[in-house]
Amino acid sequence: MYATISQEQTDILKKLSKKNNILSYSRIILLLAAVYFLYLMMYEKNHLYGFISLGLIVVFIIVVNIYLKVQSKIAYHKTLKQINADEISFLEGNHQFNNGIEYQNPQHAFSYDLDLFGYNSIFQFTNRTGTFLGKDALAKSLQEIPTEASILKKQEAVRELSEKLTFRQHFQTLSSLAGTTEKEDLAIKNWTETISEKPKAFMQFFAVLIPVLLLISIAGSVFNWHLVFSKLTVFFFTLNLLLIGYFSQHILKEIGKSDRIANSLLQYSKMLQAFETEKFQSVYLNDFQSKLQSDQKTSYQIVTNLANCFEKLNTIANLFVFIALNGTFQYHFWVYKKLLKWKKNHQQDLWQFMEIIGEVEALNSFANFAYNNPEYHYPTIKSNQIKMEDLGHPLISKNKRVRNTIDFSQKRFVILTGSNMSGKSTFLRTVGINLVLSYAGAPIDAKQAVVYPLLLWVSLRLTDSLSDSESFFFAEVKRLKQIVTEAEKQPIFVLLDEILKGTNSDDKKTGTVGVIEKLHNLNVTGMIATHDLEVCNTTDHHLQTMENKCFEVEIINNELHFDYKLKNGICQNKNATFIMKKMEII
């Protein structure tokens, strides 16, 4: 499908390119012709040439407007073509999307340990956002634990969007063209939170009086009422300019607050129009659409009106517009008044509209993920049950991916053993990442799955900190303290990998057993990976709620063989010494 759409865009762009070239040459010809007839009028004193020149200028303006619309279409279809080309390249393993590395947070309960952000992360794998708000919404979706009802609503929305390829790509194209940065989006938010200065009463009075007096003086000059009217016309025209010059400090201050806000708002308005005019069945998407209505106007109309206000205010820097329009009727004063009226009526709505766009972008990203992986399944949401059949890691190549089944519904805690490189850490991440995707409403790589939104805590990749004078061991103990504290408050799901690595073997074994017992007593669900086989004896005391699982390795023809299949029981084979001998270290 991506290849078909890409070819369609290529064909459209060829036609638009031809039209663009014709319009481009037409502009030059029309402008030169207009100048030529203007010259003839002045040289031959023939007013007919002047009318012809005026007509050509009108046609020139029309052609320029058509040319600009064609340019906009070319930009749109180029972007849509690139989106499909990127998807083809991505599926072939040759393209990387924005990885959201700025969202890495070592203090987060699970995102850092599960590598949700950064190179080759699940964020990079799913991200199809174009705006900062979209990227931020996607990052938040991957880091939150929603309610059961919220997950079900998101699943329904993602399912529906995954089937709306045309809408999704249209919305993605608009967001890519917007391409707003954090600075630009926050400029919109800051503007909605600031108070704009109201013009003084005398400005309002003179903004009405002086243009009226100017109109009267112009009429007097045209109809030759008196010679004084010509002088009054110049006087009132100049007075208009002086008054708007005095008031321009307020206008410039308002434009400064917006910081390129007009272009961003125009793009956002197109995205709002695309979303609010689409028909949806899912409750989640319909709820968003209902929030876009305000005072019988659509969000598209509201935001477009604001964008137009800012565009008009920005023309204050155009000397011709400033003199011609402000000298006549103080144009920018009335635009500023219109902006104040808009702010009074819709100040509270604007940021909500923007956030909805971000949420839709995030849902579109998960829908694209679902579309690219039609064999994935949406987990069933069921209280106090977590089990996954034939579970795979979504970031591992499909032809290399090994799937395993895990069930926490009967025995809620698993002690996982295995030799080096046997797949323990990868399996912990497989469970964690698929839980994260499940909570976000996305499908997962499992034959079937049942999940429940438990608070997730993970300890897989702690580091020491020289800047904080903190050892690896102390960092690990602090993390375990956080986990225990949370477990004392509410039910949680944990994934722990080889804890207490920074201490001696006896302390490590005793401490690990102590942690497992503590977590068990707090009714924690989850899994811990360890190399210490004696720790596995803990399950003998909790046969109804705890079990051992393992990954095995075989030595065949003097080579290590890993099948990465999860098995019941305790690991029987070791490979560290064999590997060191193989590499001639010992």
pLDDT digits over 537-548, tens only? 999 989 899 999
Band of residue 334 on the pLDDT scale cut at 50, 70, 90: very high
What does the pLDDT read at residue 444? 95
Single-letter amino acid code for the residue at 396: I
End-to-end CA distance of the chain: 55
Candidate from 322-336, 368-382, 452-466 with smallest mean pLDDT? 452-466
Task: Please determine, for residue 361, whether its predicted confidence score (pLDDT) is greater than 50.
Answer: yes
- Among 198-202, 207-211, 412-416, 469-473, top mean pLDDT goes to 412-416
Candidate from 154-168, 251-265, 513-527 with smallest mean pLDDT? 251-265
What does the pLDDT read at residue 579? 56
Q: Which residue has the higher pLDDT, 370 or 561?
A: 370
What does the pLDDT read at residue 465? 42
* For residues 8-35, average pLDDT: 91
* For residues 399-408, average pLDDT: 92
Residue 31 and residue 22 in contact, taking contact as beta carbons nearer than 8 Å: no
* For residues 269-291, average pLDDT: 93
Task: Please determine, for residue 169, whether its predicted confidence score (pLDDT) is greater than 80.
Answer: yes
Band of residue 433 on the pLDDT scale cut at 50, 70, 90: very high
Kindly list the domain boundaries of the chain, sorted by start residue.
Answer: 2-91, 181-359, 380-582
Measured distance CA(46)–CA(60) in Å, rounded = 22
Q: Which residue has the higher pLDDT, 466 or 470?
A: 470
Residue 137 and residue 123 in contact, taking contact as beta carbons nearer than 8 Å: no
* For residues 318-324, average pLDDT: 84
* For residues 141-151, average pLDDT: 94
Tell the burial category of 36 from Cβ atoms under 10 Å away from its Cβ (0-12, 13-18, 19+): middle
The whole-chain average pLDDT of the chain stands at: 87
Q: Which residue has the higher pLDDT, 266 or 555?
A: 266
Residue 97 and residue 130 in contact, taking contact as beta carbons nearer than 8 Å: no
Q: Which residue has the higher pLDDT, 563 or 158?
A: 158
Band of residue 381 on the pLDDT scale cut at 50, 70, 90: very high
Residue 180 and residue 264 in contact, taking contact as beta carbons nearer than 8 Å: yes
Task: Please determine, for residue 577, whether its predicted confidence score (pLDDT) is greater than 60.
Answer: no
Single-letter amino acid code for the residue at 558: N
What does the pLDDT read at residue 492? 93
- By C-alpha distance, which of 429, 392, 433 is closest to 125? 433
Pull the structure tokens for residue 214: 């100017």
Q: Which residues pair with 389 in a beta bridge?
A: 448
Q: Strands 559-562 and 553-556: what pairing?
A: antiparallel
pTM: 0.86
Q: Which residue has the higher pLDDT, 361 or 421?
A: 361
Band of residue 581 on the pLDDT scale cut at 50, 70, 90: low
Residue by residue, DSSP assigns 170-225 as HHHHHHHHH---HHHHHHHHHHHHSPPPPPPHHHHHHHHHHHHHHHHHHHHHHTTS
Report how far apart, in Å, the C-alpha atoms of 574 and of each of 405, 525, 551, 552, 571 are.
23, 28, 11, 9, 8
| Rounded percentage of the chain residues whose pLDDT exceeds 90 | 47
Band of residue 469 on the pLDDT scale cut at 50, 70, 90: very low
What does the pLDDT read at residue 258? 56
What does the pLDDT read at residue 214? 86
Those residues with Cβ within 8 angstroms of residue 332's Cβ, 6 or more apart along the chain or in another chain = 244, 247, 248, 251, 312, 313, 315, 316, 322, 325, 326
Let me know if domain 380-582 sits in CATH 3.40.50.2300: no
* For residues 463-473, average pLDDT: 52
Strand order across the beta sheet in which 413-418 lies: 455-459, 492-497, 525-530, 413-418, 546-551, 567-568
Single-letter amino acid code for the residue at 264: S
Task: Please determine, for residue 416, whether its predicted confidence score (pLDDT) is greater than 60.
Answer: yes
Task: Please determine, for residue 126, whether its predicted confidence score (pLDDT) is greater than 70.
Answer: yes
Residue 13 and residue 82 in contact, taking contact as beta carbons nearer than 8 Å: no
What does the pLDDT read at residue 154? 96
Measured distance CA(251)–CA(143) in Å, rounded = 41
Candidate from 96-100, 175-179, 260-264, 525-529 with smallest mean pLDDT? 260-264
* For residues 260-281, average pLDDT: 88
Task: Please determine, for residue 533, whether its predicted confidence score (pLDDT) is greater than 90.
Answer: no
Task: Please determine, for residue 307, whether its predicted confidence score (pLDDT) is greater than 70.
Answer: yes
* For residues 274-301, average pLDDT: 89
Determine which helix (DSSP H) or strand (DSSP E) holds 440, and give its type and residue range. none
What does the pLDDT read at residue 78? 94
Band of residue 468 on the pLDDT scale cut at 50, 70, 90: very low
Those residues with Cβ within 8 angstroms of residue 338's Cβ, 6 or more apart along the chain or in another chain = 309
Band of residue 466 on the pLDDT scale cut at 50, 70, 90: very low
What does the pLDDT read at residue 168? 95
Task: Please determine, for residue 585, whether its predicted confidence score (pLDDT) is greater than 70.
Answer: no
Q: Which residues pair with 496 in a beta bridge?
A: 459, 528
